[in-house]
Structure 1
Amino acid sequence: MKMFDHVVLTCVDRFRGERTVSGIYHLLTGKRSSQTLQDAKGYELDRLFGIYPSLKREQLERHAQALVQDGLIQINEQSFPTITSGGAEQLSSFPVDELKHFEGMVWHGVIPTFVKRVYLLLQMMANSNAGIHHYVPIVDDYGTQQWVRTVYHQFQDKLPKMVESMYEEIHHLLKKHPSNQADLFAYRLTGGGIIGMTIDQLKREFGLNGGDVELMLQHTHYYLFLESKKKKDQYPVLHLCTKGLDATHLITRSARKTYQYIQQGLSLQEIMNIRRLKKSTIQDHIVESALIIPDFSIASFLSEQDVQEINKMGIQMNTKKLKQIHEALNGKYDYFELRLALAKGQHAIKEGMT
């Protein structure tokens, strides 16, 4: 079973027929909306949030249809997929090590920068070592090129040693990584007269589809990043590539402004007047704050008793579907209150597990 299959099946399984293929698409591409954030947290899919930013909607839809044909999922008339017993069997047989390093919700925002730094730094150092001074940089990004130039000038006299260290660090880490993923990464590297393979070339060379190649490379990128980020002494050159790259603070700038006004004690109406935004937009910001900030107080909107009642009903019915919970509670709470309570409930569940 391939990685793309596994990731899509995991999403279908966790969503329990309560989200469409579009919901999976928004999750994997990392759409920064309160709905997608709530899905990631509520269905415990935050590790997969934003891990496949280049995914195309049509590509995912085609893949979902292939899973239907293979009897692994079913999609009803309303476009809600559910997993079959065959799909569940496939899911449980997938080796956990193959994707254990994904930490999308926390790190998806900085992984692309890390990757560009690693590829370009390797190219620059290997070429410099080989006496190649005129070449086209494989990363066409001004910020990354400037970063690499700075490193070059700072460590010019230590370059041969750095090249050696970087290769050793990567080799050491890849030895402990699934070999198929390690090979894909190695074939991608450019420098010293060697040109790395494109995604299409890797597909042909390894007999994989594009989704598998992208995800397996991404998983390796997360692995290299996380290991070198926390083990500076063991992986000094790779650690250098993680400098200044910190955890994504997922609360959006606009939501942060709303959050600050709430902290100052302003009411929803007052914030709407000041910010000249629709009520639904401000409510989205409040839900986003409740999802991301564990100690965010929602006492001005819902009592502790209300939060417990809503979450208890969701657990009893085994659903995150607002419509079902709304009906079960006879319309006692509006949809904003339900979303807010479920967002708060996520933190309570996490705390109970620790």
Structure 2
Amino acid sequence: MLFEELVITIMKAINLERTISSPFHLIKGKKSGQTIQDVGYYRLHPYFAVMPNLEKRLYDEVIRNLFARQLLRDNDQVIDLADKALAHAMPASPLNGWKYRGNEAVFLNRLSLVVQTLSYTSQQTNRFDPVHNAEDLQSWVKHYLKKINFRDPASVARFKAEMLESLEAADAEERSKMVLMQRLTGLGWSGMTWEQIALAHDLHILDVQLAAVEALHAWLDVLERNGFPMLSPLLDHVIQRSVLTESTQRTEKLFEKGLSLSEIAAIRQLKTSTIEDHFVELAMNDPFFNFAPFMPPAMYEQIVTVSKKRNTKRLRDIKEELPHATYFQIRLALALREDQP
């Protein structure tokens, strides 16, 4: 998947519902109530936080290109895709952003330093400039290397064999895997910059960065499912075990103790709107979430009915017909809808 295809895929889900900047915030993994809410409303989990370091100027460049090619129509309010963009079939992708939330970079940094170390020390070269200087990363890698007895040639051979076998099994394009390998450094070769890789593949820099993430997600899936003993430890704290953000988990614990929304906001010293965001996130992820403390069943049914009738999840549009409902109640009801796409 090219970066432009990623953007269009997201836009298809939120066409005429959200602004041009919405995909940018989603791809970066912004933890705002709106972005988290959209992940659940529109089933955009695969694309959340896949490129946390995405630069706005590069994103805007892609948007301008979509307008220039008439794939986007000018609409000051919302995304308005042209018919040819809506009809374009998007390629399948192994992206699983909600599961990793940018932590695939932790795995890659560990792998890069381990590969570099094994490459040098296996050739009796103990002095080199590490590719990563972060103390916590170096400390983790040193501990790992001791555990695998990294000076034993047999350990190095097993590590290499696991790398080749697991990466080959990853369900990603060969080009994506190549991009990933071109980032690694060892004795006699230096990892390429994103600019160099983009030039080598005749692609935009965002395309090769996305390709690396796709390869990583597919690779991590193989490692998690098949348990490669040499590589699996590199997954430590990489996979997001809870579907909830950390802040929402803390709110959930207080809610389970019987505290109200306002009480939780006071205890956590957060805005009421932030706590409302957490309840919307809880509602999206808990099929047994009890909305009774926040609205009567009749109001829930009204909100869902209006949303279906107008074929929209835009809060303002629903509020126009149901002025007695609060925006929080509307958001909560939409999060609970059973027929979300």
Structure 1 residues 280 and 195, CA, compared in 2 at 3 Å: closer, same or farther? same
Displacement, 1:135? Answer: 0.8
Q: Secondary structure at the match of 1:218?
A: helix
Structure 1 residues 325 and 139, CA, compared in 2 at 3 Å: closer, same or farther? same
Partner of residue 79, structure 2: 81
Displacement, 1:128? Answer: 1.3
Query: C-alpha deviations, 1:280-305, integer Å up to 9, x for none?
Result: 23322322332344433222112344
Q: Which sits farther off after the overlay, 297-306 or 46-55? A: 297-306
Partner of residue 145, structure 1: 138
Partners in 1 of 2:302 and 2:254 — Cα distance? 28
Partner of residue 36, structure 2: 37
Contact 2:33 2:274 (8 Å CA) reproduced: no
Partner of residue 226, structure 2: 231
Partner of residue 325, structure 2: 333
Contact 1:139 1:145 (8 Å CA) reproduced: yes
Equivalent position amino acid for 1:116 in 2: N
Query: C-alpha deviations, 1:6-38, integer Å up to 9, x for none?
Result: 101011111112111221111000011121011
Matches within 5 A, 1:1-354: 3-78=2-77, 80-89=78-87, 91-92=88-89, 94-96=90-92, 99=93, 101-156=94-149, 159-176=152-169, 177-232=172-227, 235-249=228-242, 251-329=244-322, 331-345=323-337, 348-349=338-339
Partners in 2 of 1:272 and 1:240 — Cα distance? 38
Displacement, 1:158? Answer: 6.3
Query: C-alpha deviations, 1:192-230, integer Å up to 9, x for none?
Result: 221111101101111111110110001111111111011
Contact 1:3 1:212 (8 Å CA) reproduced: yes
Displacement, 1:174? Answer: 4.0
Give the gaps of 5 or more residues in structure 2: none
Contact 1:68 1:74 (8 Å CA) reproduced: yes
Query: C-alpha deviations, 1:149-208, integer Å up to 9, x for none?
Result: 012212226642333233333333444531211221222221122111110110111111
Contact 1:119 1:190 (8 Å CA) reproduced: yes
Structure 1 residues 279 and 184, CA, compared in 2 at 3 Å: closer, same or farther? closer
What is the RMSD computed on CA atoms of the aligned residues? 2.2
Partners in 2 of 1:57 and 1:157 — Cα distance? 42
Contact 1:4 1:212 (8 Å CA) reproduced: yes
Question: Structure 1 vs Structure 2: percent identity of aligned residues?
Answer: 28
Partners in 2 of 1:240 and 1:143 — Cα distance? 16
Displacement, 1:244? Answer: 4.2
Equivalent position amino acid for 1:44 in 2: R
Structure 1 residues 187 and 274, CA, compared in 2 at 3 Å: closer, same or farther? closer
Partners in 2 of 1:84 and 1:165 — Cα distance? 52
Partners in 2 of 1:23 and 1:157 — Cα distance? 46
Query: C-alpha deviations, 1:273-332, integer Å up to 9, x for none?
Result: 444443323322322332344433222112344333322322232211001111133x13
Give the gaps of 5 or more residues in structure 1: none
Displacement, 1:108? Answer: 1.5
Displacement, 1:272? Answer: 4.0
Displacement, 1:237? Answer: 2.0
Structure 1 residues 71 and 293, CA, compared in 2 at 3 Å: closer, same or farther? same
Structure 1 residues 163 and 343, CA, compared in 2 at 3 Å: closer, same or farther? same
Partners in 1 of 2:98 and 2:333 — Cα distance? 21
Contact 1:129 1:192 (8 Å CA) reproduced: no
| TM, length-normalised to structure 1 | 0.88
Contact 2:15 2:80 (8 Å CA) reproduced: yes
| TM, length-normalised to structure 2 | 0.91
Q: Which sits farther off after the overlay, 268-277 or 280-289? A: 268-277
Displacement, 1:124? Answer: 1.1
Q: Which has the higher helix share?
A: 1
Partners in 2 of 1:140 and 1:293 — Cα distance? 41
Partners in 2 of 1:249 and 1:65 — Cα distance? 37
Q: Secondary structure at the match of 2:67?
A: helix
Contact 1:21 1:61 (8 Å CA) reproduced: no
Displacement, 1:269? Answer: 3.4
